[in-house]
Amino acid sequence: MKKLGIIIDSFSSLSKKEAQDLGFEFLSLQLEADGKLYQDGILDAKEMLETVRDAKVVATSLPTLESMENAIKTQSEKYEKVLYLGINHEISSTGKYMKTFSQDFENVYVFDNHFSGYQLVYAALLAQEEYEKHQNFDLVLEKLNFLNENSQTYILPESLDYLIKGGRLKGFKKFILKTGKLIPLIEYKLSGHVMVAKLNKTVTGALKKVFNKVLELKETFKNLEVHLISGLSEKLNSEVLELAKEFNVIVSKVCIASSVTVAHTGPNAVAIAFMPSIEEFKK
């Protein structure tokens, strides 16, 4: 049977080695900290977060154009069909370039999505499993669309400084958030935009709102994948896991946020991402 080739980027929280071990082609988004350029997913993930924390000036950019072209060419020659699953085009121009480069290859498809962190890996593995089983690429896209539409991610930043400086925050007047003492809960929308969903008096209150969202989705889907995308704050990471237990929610994956993510959310921010599990597709 023909297999489905996957191209994934470092927004997935994977390292290059981890991606290669899964047979994926890997794209490194780039981080610039105090004038020095780093390839995301190459160095230790925690060290990269510390680099963001300690830097006075940080910026992010897409993978090198050469690496994108090479990834497409390599995978298109290996596989009957190739799927790129990566960062949304609203927060990075990577997807736009990948679409342009893939126009010369009929078997390469760029899937627009709002998956975050390890959700991208999970979606890629589901896609491969479904393609090997049915040999129907349209069916794969149909199931990925369903998964994407029922996936949610909420981000709890320690402060809004990084989001405001990076220009990623939409939907609220910045000066109100700068002067207010309320804690924002950020939603990564289906459109790819990042917006303030709720303002909360406490961190615990914000996290409880997220876990209530998880329970709401569980009313529709019995089996869920719930992931913690962690930052440097052990206190905040631990609070998420403790509250998950209180809500009887199983966190099936904990991964460290990519450096290009924390460059815009802050190194101590956490995200909770959840979606239907593969089991829901076997019914």
Average pLDDT, the chain: 92
The domains located in the chain, with CATH, are: 4-149 (3.40.50.10170), 150-281 (3.30.1180.10)
**Cα–Cα distance for residue pair 88/61, rounded to 1 Å:** 13
Cβ proximity of 68 and 118 under 8 Å: no
Q: How confident is the model at residue 175 (pLDDT cuts 50, 70, 90)?
A: very low
Which of the pair, 84 or 195, is modelled with greater confidence? 84
What's the pLDDT score for residue 181?
A: 72
Q: How confident is the model at residue 280 (pLDDT cuts 50, 70, 90)?
A: confident
Name the token pair of 168: 């990623």
What's the pLDDT score for residue 99?
A: 96
Which residue has 């539409």 as its token pair? Answer: 149
Which residue has 């303002």 as its token pair? Answer: 199
Reported pTM: 0.94
CA angle, 232 then 237 then 240, to 5°: 155
Cβ proximity of 262 and 270 under 8 Å: no
- Asked if the model's pLDDT at residue 204 lies above 90, the reply is yes
What's the pLDDT score for residue 167?
A: 53
The predicted-structure confidence for 15-58, as pLDDT tens digits, reads as follows 999 999 999 999 999 999 999 999 999 999 999 999 999 999 99
Mean pLDDT on 156-174: 65
- Asked if the model's pLDDT at residue 161 lies above 80, the reply is no
% of the chain with per-residue pLDDT over 90:
83
